[in-house]
Chains A and B, each alone.
Chain A
Amino acid sequence: MNPITEARAIFLQIAEQIENDILSGAHPEETQVPSTNEFAAFHRINPATAAKGVNLLVDRGILYKKRGIGMFVAEGARARIMATRREDFREQYVLPCWRKPTSSASARPRSPT
């Protein structure tokens, strides 16, 4: 488990943490994940913040709600997370490598496609 850091909104870190656990197999698809209150107590954060992180994953179709029971990992969640992360990696790390460190945008040799 990664500790909560200052760098980004906590709810994003919670969402990422749950995604990591889905990727690692700690939360297999179609199994129940802990409740928002359990996440809040474990990470020592405000329950509303934990709920925000969980709801983000519901919106992305990673988790789904079973009324009166709790949150479950959706089918195909793993594949979806991997696809999103691949895209993020390209945005954050691969594309910047194409830019010359000191040049301005116009001096970029060619656009990466």
Chain B
Amino acid sequence: MTDDTIVQAAGLTRRFGDVLAVDDASFELQADRIYGLLGRNGAGKTTLMHLLTGQDFPSAGALEVFGHAPAENAHVLQQLCFIKESQRYPDDFRVKHVLRSAPWFFENWDADFAEQLVDDFQLPLNRRIKKVSRGQLSAVGVIVGLASRAPLTFFDEPYLGLDAVARQTFYDRLLADYAEHPRTVVLSTHLIDEVADLLEHVLVIDRGRIILDEGADELRESATTLVGARATVDAFVGARDVLHRDGIGGLTSVTVTGLTAPERREATASGIELAPVSLQQLVVHLTRSSEKEFA
């Protein structure tokens, strides 16, 4: 643990009856980084964020956020902002009421920034929150999450219903504001390709377990797809760990991890084509191969 560690989880577990929603998760979050929390539907992303934000209690394990257990702890909670996928607001609230009440909860709230974001997302301030579209509701969450400037901000699938333009606006504003006001951001998302370049560090959760905890740059170079004649590729792959295998006729494509530069040259020299693997493909392969383990 370093001085920059703001979240420390050891053996964190949350059980619902027979289901282990979070299973023995141990990881750390460092200050002022953008994290990606990736995983399939029902993998445990939201439960994990509920635990980190003190909205649920762990069944087992230790958890410290800003040095303390988060549940019922004002010192911790006032530094957090959690934008949920389906945030509920009081029934008679209008959009402007949400933005007006936000500074009660977030001491770093920047009203000017919020106003600018309202313009960017073209939000109708006077409309009742019950009447706005799904995308506009997501935009409200995004604005609260950005303008709160909380030291630790969670976005849980913040883009539901947001069109491509609005999503790009979100990513751009997040990057620009993060550069000026560094803080820790956890983005939970399925749209991995869209956010891949924004992330500094990636956590992949599958069936409650953290199966990957790695810097984005390291991941980017970690896997390679080898394409070529089946015999040549198989001979080269040998006993390596194979993430994914595909083939058609005499051609085969195999995804492996951890190729060194000399090995790459050797592969190219023997007529194998090397193709990069995107973060999204890597996560798909990883979560699939851990499925097979259980089958």
List residues of A whose CB falls within 8 A of some B CB.
Answer: 4-11, 37, 40-41, 43-49, 52, 96, 99, 101-102
Contact = CB atoms under 8 A, between A and B. Distances in A.
Given A6-B220, A8-B220, A49-B200, A44 B172 contact: yes
B270 A102 contact: yes
B221 interface: yes
B232 to A, nearest CB: 10
Given A37-B179, A96-B268, A101-B271, A46 B198 contact: yes
Shortest 8 CB-CB distances between A and B: which pairs? A37-B179, A7-B276, A6-B276, A9-B217, A45-B197, A47-B179, A6-B278, A46-B200
A11 B198 CA distance: 12
Contacts, number: 63
A44 B197 contact: yes
A101 B221 contact: no
Nearest to A91: B265
A5 B276 CA distance: 9
Q: Provide the main secondary structure of the chain B interface.
A: helix
Interface of B: 33-34, 171-172, 175-176, 178-180, 197-200, 216-218, 220-221, 265, 268-271, 276-278
Nearest to A5: B276
Given A6-B276, A10-B217, A37-B179, 11 more contacts: A5-B276, A40-B179, A41-B176, A44-B171, A44-B172, A46-B197, A46-B216, A48-B200, A49-B200, A101-B269, A101-B271
B216 A49 contact: yes
Contacts of A52: 217
